[in-house]
Structure 1
Amino acid sequence: MSLTKYTLDRIEDGYAVFLKYPEEEEQIIILQSAMNKPIQVGDRVQIEETDGIYHIEILKEETEQKKAEIRSLMDRLRRKNQ
């Protein structure tokens, strides 16, 4: 697997479900114990698989930018519904 960007969508029964960025139509499912570090739902990451171990690099800047966009959208929706 080459380096590809994904977003962690959810964790279910010990598996992490990632959606390929940016379309988020393709997904990969990785056993949490096969990952080299813990991550949180919503994190944008790059993933590289080597010998059955998934090396994950958290893209902190992209993750923070996306979270800020979501907060802004949620604020606008809240104000609209008041």
Structure 2
Amino acid sequence: MQSVHPILASRPGELSTREKLVLSMTAEGKTAGDIAEELHISQRTVHAHLQNASEKMQAANKTQTVVEAMRYGQIQLR
């Protein structure tokens, strides 16, 4: 995958540390169940973080949320 350079250093709706972590793990292909288990939180909390991030990124779905977060330099693939 080709590197995506940030358009801006930050964007209105800066993601929280936890939202960034959940999105990064999602980008790695982990399921909500995997993320919940690894972070010791419920799947419902994982989905809440994804929903909040989606709203902040003004994205229509989880995939677009990950892409927008990468475009705006809020997450990076490890």
TM-score range, shorter chain: under 0.3
**Where is the strand percentage greater, Structure 1 or Structure 2?**
1
Could you say which structure has the greater relative contact order, defined with CA pairs below 8 angstroms and 6 or more residues apart? 2
TM-score, normalisation: structure 1: 0.27
Q: Which of these two proteins has the greater Rg computed from alpha carbons?
A: 1
